[in-house]
């Protein structure tokens, strides 16, 4: 099955936006106390990583424009398969320190491929 890079990037942007929206205005302590938000964030990171994995296969030159794209995919694999290894602090740090950059890079790539 061939995947459309613009659709994949849009899915990544959507997942990252939803994570940021869910965690806006809350502290790490709030995050730890809210299992529903934790589960939703983990699922959205899985979706983001899965989409990035598809981008690697479909348009590797675009995936290479995302810093640490392999680590993001590996993070998705831990969330999906290593349920007993999930550290909420690592997830929180991914939101606080890495997700905004990923979102910026994905937006830049998406704009560059949508320009006629």
Binned at pLDDT 50, 70 and 90, residue 67 comes out as very high
Domains of the chain plus CATH, in order, are 5-114 (1.20.120)
Residues in the chain: 116
Instruction: Answer whether residue 114 shows pLDDT above 90.
Output: no
Q: What is the pLDDT of residue 111?
A: 95
Predicted TM-score (pTM) of this structure: 0.93
Secondary structure (3-state) at 92: helix
- Residue 84: pLDDT band (50, 70, 90) is confident
Question: Above 80 in pLDDT, residue 116?
Answer: no
């Amino acid at each position: 099955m061939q995947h459309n890079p613009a659709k994949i990037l849009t899915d990544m942007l959507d997942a990252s936006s939803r994570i940021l929206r869910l965690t806006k205005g809350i502290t790490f302590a709030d995050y730890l106390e809210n299992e529903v938000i934790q589960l939703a964030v983990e699922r959205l990171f899985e979706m983001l990583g899965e989409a990035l994995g598809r981008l690697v296969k479909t348009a590797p030159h675009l995936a290479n424009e995302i810093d640490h794209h392999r680590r993001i995919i590996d993070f998705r694999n831990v969330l999906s398969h290593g349920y007993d290894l999930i550290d909420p602090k690592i997830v929180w740090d991914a939101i606080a320190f890495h997700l905004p950059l990923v979102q910026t890079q994905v937006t830049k790539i998406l704009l560059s491929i949508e320009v006629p």
